Amino acid sequence: MTIKRLHIIILLTMLSMAVRAQISGVIIDAVTGDTLLYPSASYKGHHIAVSGDATGHYSIARHEGWVLTFSAVGYQSKNITVTAKTPQIVNIKLKPDTKTLAEVVVKQKRGKYSRKDNPAVELMKRVVAAKKKTELANHDYYQYNKYQKITLAVNDIQPSDIDSGFFAKKQWLIDQIETSPYNYKLILPVSVDETVTQHIYRKNPKSEKDIIIGEQSSGVNQLLSTGDILNTALKDVFTDIDLYDDQIRLLQYPFTSPIGKNAVAFYRYYIQDTVYVDRDLCYHLEFLPNNQQDFGFRGDLYILADSTLHVKRCELTIPQRSDVNFVENLHVTQEYTKLPNGEWVLSLDDMIVEMKVASFLSKALVTRTTRLTDYAFDMLPKQLFKGKAVKRREANANMRDEAFWNQYRTVELTKGESGMNAFIHRIEQLKGFKYIIFGLRALIENFVETGDLNHPSKFDIGPVNTVVTSNFIDKLRFRVSGQTTANLNKHWFFSGYVARGTHSRKNYYKGDVTYSFNKKDYLPREFPKRTLSFSSTYDVTAPSDKFVHTDKDNVFTAFKWAPVDKMMFYNRQLLQFDYEQEWGMKTTLELKTEENEAAGRLFFQPLNASVDIAHKINSLSQSEVGDYIHNGKIRTTEFTLQFQLAPGRTYINTKQRRIPMNLDAPVFTLRHTVGIKGLLGGDYAYNFSEGSIYKRFWMNSWGKIDTYIKAGAQWNKVPYPLLIMPAANLSYIVQDETFNLINNMEFLNDRYASLDVSWDMNGKILNRIPLLKKLKWREYFGVKCLWGMLTDKNNPTLARNAGDPTLMVFPEGCYIMDSKRPYVELVAGVHNIFKILHVEFVHRCNYSYLPIAHRNGVRMMVRMTF
């Protein structure tokens, strides 16, 4: 009996100690006495925080000597220091946060707007003129540290959702829910990305760089092998805002800054009053676009009422009538701080964006928190500016310990952000999760992984959309593809496919081995690409397939608006070296040997041939010519050198390709190919040169104009397969840099120049038409021109070239352009249909007399833009 009592005493003592190790209570409104909804209690600096429930009750571990902070949205925080005398039950009363800017004198009431003799306009002209005097670039050197945190969360969770549905009986999921201090709604954080950057500047010679010294990311992006897509996209779409730039890039569009050089013409300004902001007297102005449907801001400016006329604080949002897609609410807050030397610098830059892609999907909240500190103007070492890259990453940036983050993290992580890894781990334990993530990966990434959560995939099967397709020679065609990943080896990568044509009964293959000189996270094409690769391929193709930017076996591009019956088998071996530099220069070296065998209505008949293959093939019906016919072979060996300069371009990496994100910078490309006769069986010697320029022009509220200019020349006498053919797109899917209504090999030239101009007016016209503007459609116009010529030495139709052993008879459907009459096609389209669909009507203006010409057509694509 004594032993039993002893056990009871010990149990009661342990229970008492456990209770003693907790602090609990209820948090209420100090004015009304009402309990507060989902308050929080946290030990700041120790990454321990809890969220109270809907009745204001909380419970948190006891840590004597630590400062415990109680807070709730819309209330002033309260701190207590936990000591031995602190009771187990601590009830807290929080006062409402009524902090406001003190009004002094109201200067002007809003009425009919006029720029003439408007004091607000005159003030803003002075503000714009004063910008140059306050630029940090006036110093010989400057530097600062920037801490940035980007959080993605499920937004606007209702209390009713917590008590039922997916959240029910999942306490670990409920524990992740917290109240956003920005929009006062319940949110579920699902990813957080933190970056610490050192920004440096030198005036002479001018150089400006961002050095990433710390970087870490956690959340749902960990569930996808190419999860960096999420972080890269968020950083590009919700990029930093510099109010002192004339144009502010946001949502991948340029917005006119309210203090930009063209701001007075774009915005309307109203002086509201003079106020004190942190003891500094400021002019308070409100502003909004002349037309609120334009891509512009509205908000408040607080301008220092002194000789500097510097911005002290600004609050930006977008008008409710704005035509920006997916964004329900956007708010930017910036604050400037005075340094000891008297200069004003940006210190706070916060952004919250509430988004909704579709009514049946959950809403999202993106929170970008930025703090800039440690400004200095001392001379900086020359080695910091070494290299042309504007951004570089320290080798150990992704391996920083907690001490580093405690030093540089200027904004504490919330409870949900600090517990992100544990949250993701619990998601991985959900029943059936592995099947859900399997389907999502196949849908989003177009590949099927062979690994699992504990053993990352070393080999991916795909692309999925190339398994079944068709073409003129094979009819139905089956293909199995795959690639290794960096989980197998960080430097060596292998990929390839095997395919089978049901009608041709031929087997095809491609094998590729790549060595990456720099370690990769998942695939060898990640920027910067520095690889040496070798591939061997045997397959069938149409000459126009090389202009399609996606895989030629993509099932969606298999549907053609015209018969593609001129095809060829090719046996290709390619050795390629790619070297990209961080500042945008890419160098490519290629050595390729290839044998082509004509099929279908394609044939290789030299002018001196004794057998008229052309007549034989042209006499066959469409069904007869579909069977393979031996129409001759040619073999080439060529060496190619290419330079491409794309400064400032950023990319997202998918498992199938690399997609450029930032298209604002120009792109210059220069390429030369030398054909070597006699090397590895090459039949011809030739030189082909080509150059191109891409440039995007932003037209402020009138959208953007994309321009592609290309030119090239084949300098030697060559058979027609080595002449220049137009970039023809025969699918119904829109392909950039291609012609929509030119047929496969329709024109053959040895000199060419092309111009492709498209103007996305961003709804400037359609969104001003009554009723139609509710659809939020956006107009799109374009013109595509091709000038080409065939010099006499490569013209097989001239009598002087009869019997030439090099030149070949043109197949049916191939023509010679009039050098004085360029080919022109016009494009008129509408995009943003249901926010995802882009449809174009295309019209061919000339050369319509040709028997294969199509005058008009419709093309489409899936396209999502803000």
pLDDT at 604 over 60: yes
- How far apart CA 400 and CA 214 sit, in angstroms, is 6
Q: Mean pLDDT, to the nearest integer, of 560-582? A: 92
For residue 46, name the pLDDT band (cuts at 50, 70, 90): low
Q: Which residue in the block uniquely carries the two structure tokens 């203090």?
A: 259
Two tokens, residue 557: 């591009």
Q: Which residue has the higher pLDDT, 164 or 859?
A: 859
pLDDT the model gives residue 105: 39
Q: Mean pLDDT, to the nearest integer, of 605-610? A: 83
pLDDT the model gives residue 814: 93
Nearest Cα neighbor of 214 from 477, 1, 397 is 397
pLDDT at 422 over 90: no
Domains of the chain, each with CATH number or no CATH: 2-94 (2.60.40.1120), 118-427 (no CATH), 435-517 (no CATH), 554-566+639-649+656-862 (no CATH)
pLDDT in tens, 53-65: 767 888 888 888 8
The whole-model pTM stands at 0.74
Nearest Cα neighbor of 54 from 177, 172, 165 is 177
Phi (first) and psi of residue 448, to 5 degrees: -110, 125
Q: Which residue has the higher pLDDT, 723 or 614?
A: 723
pLDDT at 229 over 70: no
Q: Mean pLDDT, to the nearest integer, of 388-400? A: 83
pLDDT at 633 over 60: yes
pLDDT the model gives residue 773: 78
- How far apart CA 697 and CA 666 sit, in angstroms, is 10
Nearest Cα neighbor of 650 from 327, 294, 346, 234 is 234
Q: Is residue 833 exposed (0-12), middle (13-18) or buried (19+ Cβ within 10 Å)?
A: middle
Q: Rounded mean pLDDT of the chain?
A: 84
CB of 498 closer than 8 Å to CB of 508: yes
pLDDT the model gives residue 264: 87
Percent of the chain beyond pLDDT 90? 37
Q: Which residue has the higher pLDDT, 223 or 316?
A: 316
pLDDT in tens, 83-131: 888 888 899 998 886 543 333 333 444 567 777 878 888 888 888 888 8
Q: Mean pLDDT, to the nearest integer, of 272-299? A: 84
CB of 450 closer than 8 Å to CB of 458: yes
For residue 13, name the pLDDT band (cuts at 50, 70, 90): very low
pLDDT at 851 over 70: yes
pLDDT the model gives residue 37: 67
The least confident of 59-63, 227-231, 443-447, 464-468 is 227-231
Two tokens, residue 492: 């060596």
Q: Mean pLDDT, to the nearest integer, of 585-614? A: 88
The least confident of 9-13, 215-219, 645-649, 848-852 is 9-13
- How far apart CA 191 and CA 417 sit, in angstroms, is 7
pLDDT the model gives residue 102: 37
Q: Mean pLDDT, to the nearest integer, of 600-618? A: 79
pLDDT at 635 over 80: yes
Q: Which residue in the block uniquely carries the two structure tokens 């191939």?
A: 814
pLDDT at 743 over 80: yes
pLDDT in tens, 129-163: 888 888 888 899 999 999 999 888 888 887 777 77
pLDDT the model gives residue 361: 62
For residue 6, name the pLDDT band (cuts at 50, 70, 90): very low
Q: Which residue has the higher pLDDT, 538 or 777?
A: 538
- How far apart CA 632 and CA 615 sit, in angstroms, is 14
- How far apart CA 284 and CA 272 sit, in angstroms, is 6
pLDDT the model gives residue 154: 86
Q: Which residue has the higher pLDDT, 619 or 77?
A: 77
Q: Mean pLDDT, to the nearest integer, of 523-541? A: 93
pLDDT the model gives residue 106: 39
pLDDT the model gives residue 10: 37
Nearest Cα neighbor of 733 from 567, 825, 857, 611 is 857
Kindly give, in sequence order, each residue whose CB lies less than 8 Å from that of residue 323, ignoring residues fewer than 6 positions away: 293, 295, 762, 763, 767, 776, 778
For residue 11, name the pLDDT band (cuts at 50, 70, 90): very low
Residue count of the chain: 866
Two tokens, residue 593: 């040997």
CB of 104 closer than 8 Å to CB of 274: yes
Q: Mean pLDDT, to the nearest integer, of 186-197? A: 89
pLDDT in tens, 503-514: 999 999 999 999
For residue 714, name the pLDDT band (cuts at 50, 70, 90): very high
pLDDT at 14 over 50: no
Q: Mean pLDDT, to the nearest integer, of 39-49? A: 73
